[in-house]
Amino acid sequence: MRKIINHMPFSSPPYMNDVLPYPSPGNNWLHSGRWRWVEYRFRRVCRCYGYREIRTPILELTDLFVRSVGEGTDIVSKEMFNLVDRGGRRLSLKPEGTAPVVRAIIEHELLAAHPLLKLYYIGQTFRNERGQKGRYRQHQQLGVEAFGSADPALDAEVIELAVRFFREIGITDQQLQINSVGCPNCRPAYREGLKKWVKPFLSEMCGDCKTRYEVNPLRMLDCKVPHDVEILSGAPKLLDWLCEDCREHFNSLRRHLEAMSVPYQIAPQLVRGFDYYTKTAFEITSGVLGSQNALGGGGRYDGLVEDCGGPATPGIGFGLGMERCLIAMESLGIEIEPEDEAPTVFLVALGESARSAAVRLLTEIRSAGIAADMDYVGKGLKAQMRLADKLKAPLVLLIGENELKGGVVSFRNMQTSQQEMIPQGEVIRRIQSWAKN
């Protein structure tokens, strides 16, 4: 082992994680193999439901989020990482995944060719907020968005997809909460009704709620301050103020979920953090996560495409946090076998001329698509075997002076400890037939 002599001058930015190539005790969830394992299952579920992948840049014009997420939200008013480029454009690291997708489908006119457009994405999002376990300034979001239909059956599909995904990765401890946040026809009356009801209590409520009262009254329902929660538990419920259309949509969603045997609870306080939601809002939580218990959530956003400059198009989606999923899996003790990155074959060479033969053989094996490696540090047999052991390579090929002279290699199966000499020309075939068994 090489000693690190200098002091480490840098660490990762606060509340941003490195995802590492090896598991580490207590932080297994930061093993890249686990991330791939979860991503693979997410892609597989999306594929099953007919969703296609979209990737958007990590930066967007700041105005996109001001317009879509809303100026009055915490995200836009204080949590974005902003910068100005050399052309004087105001840009932001994306704080959420939906608005960039909406921007992209409008720009590329995808809706014209695909009136029902079902998309998924896996990407990094950024929020400059107070960090804690399960709440990071950079986090990976996995999400789906479906455009072009106002049918509540599509809401049910998106919700069921989310529930299934969590089940696929072993999180059976999950609770689904649904609500309706109404539409531009019924929400304004509720907003006024809520304000009127809250007014006599406003002086005892927290500072944030006093601001929300003016800017975005519905967000008061999201408040976590216990005294405010207690006051607001008596507030009028949006569900009682829905217009005919919104009420029918909500009832129909419930019927679909019941038909799919997806258990749910109605959560009248659930409003989610964004301005753009209409009708369906939902959240999936897990008790194992503690105070940051949301695994993911989403909702319908029927006005968003139009607000962003596109044709009037209904839409619904959800996003979930990769880190929360992994932490929940670890808390639940879910054992998974991340994809093995160990080499299949490890080459050991003794002596300079054997070494160049080994390098040639290594290249041939790799060209055949077999994972193979050798030691570039250790010189002696013991050191090289130690590395083979550490890498857990199931096969070791040994070339020394004798093997070189005979045009053979020693082929060692590390699991059975059997060793035999085989002609160099047969090495690849032998590895392949070993792999089949």
In the bound complex, what is the minimum distance in angstroms from residue 106's beta carbon to Zn ion?
25
413 interacts with Zn ion by CB under 5 A = no
In the bound complex, what is the minimum distance in angstroms from residue 187's beta carbon to Zn ion?
7
Q: What is the Cα–Cα distance from 268 to 288, expressed in whole angstroms?
A: 23
The DSSP result for 7-27, as a single string, is -----PPTT-PPPBSS--TT-
Nearest Cα to Cα of residue 51 among 146, 123, 166: 146
In the bound complex, what is the minimum distance in angstroms from residue 240's beta carbon to Zn ion?
12
Where do we find the tokens 């690190």?
A: 4
Touching Zn ion, residues 21-40 (CB under 5 A): none
- Residue 217 or 319 with smaller CB distance to Zn ion: 217
402 interacts with Zn ion by CB under 5 A = no
Chain centre to alpha carbon of residue 79: 20
Stretch that binds Zn ion, among 6-14, 181-189, 304-312, 386-394 (CB under 5 A): 181-189
105 interacts with Zn ion by CB under 5 A = no
In the bound complex, what is the minimum distance in angstroms from residue 219's beta carbon to Zn ion?
9
387 interacts with Zn ion by CB under 5 A = no
- Residue 236 or 351 with smaller CB distance to Zn ion: 236
DSSP class of 425: G
- Residue 209 or 325 with smaller CB distance to Zn ion: 209
In the bound complex, what is the minimum distance in angstroms from residue 228's beta carbon to Zn ion?
4
Touching Zn ion, residues 223-262 (CB under 5 A): 223, 225, 228, 243, 246
206 interacts with Zn ion by CB under 5 A = yes
Q: Which residue in the set 30, 69, 144, 209 belongs to the binding site for Zn ion (CB under 5 A)?
A: 209
CB burial of residue 181 (10 Å; 0-12, 13-18, 19+): buried
- Residue 242 or 322 with smaller CB distance to Zn ion: 242
Rounded (10°) angle between helices 32-48 and 152-168: 150
Strand order in the sheet with 315-321: 52-53, 117-126, 138-147, 315-321, 294-300, 278-285, 175-180, 265-266
DSSP class of 273: S
**Using alpha carbons only, how large is the chain's radius of gyration in Å?**
28
In the bound complex, what is the minimum distance in angstroms from residue 181's beta carbon to Zn ion?
9
Torsion angles phi and psi, residue 245, rounded to 5: -60, -45
Beta-carbon count within 10 A of 96 CB: 21
Q: Find residue 123's DSSP bridge partners.
A: 141
Q: Which residue in the set 24, 132, 185, 356 belongs to the binding site for Zn ion (CB under 5 A)?
A: 185
- Residue 150 or 225 with smaller CB distance to Zn ion: 225
In the bound complex, what is the minimum distance in angstroms from residue 231's beta carbon to Zn ion?
9
Size of the site for Zn ion (CB under 5 A): 11
CB burial of residue 245 (10 Å; 0-12, 13-18, 19+): middle
Touching Zn ion, residues 316-375 (CB under 5 A): none
Q: Which residue in the set 95, 182, 315, 317 belongs to the binding site for Zn ion (CB under 5 A)?
A: 182
Outline where DSSP puts E strands in 181-277: 265-266
Q: Which residue in the set 186, 350, 354, 358 belongs to the binding site for Zn ion (CB under 5 A)?
A: 186
Residue 34 corresponds to which tokens in the numbers above?
């686990």
- Residue 116 or 189 with smaller CB distance to Zn ion: 189
Q: Which residues bind Zn ion (CB under 5 A)?
A: 182-183, 185-186, 206, 209, 223, 225, 228, 243, 246
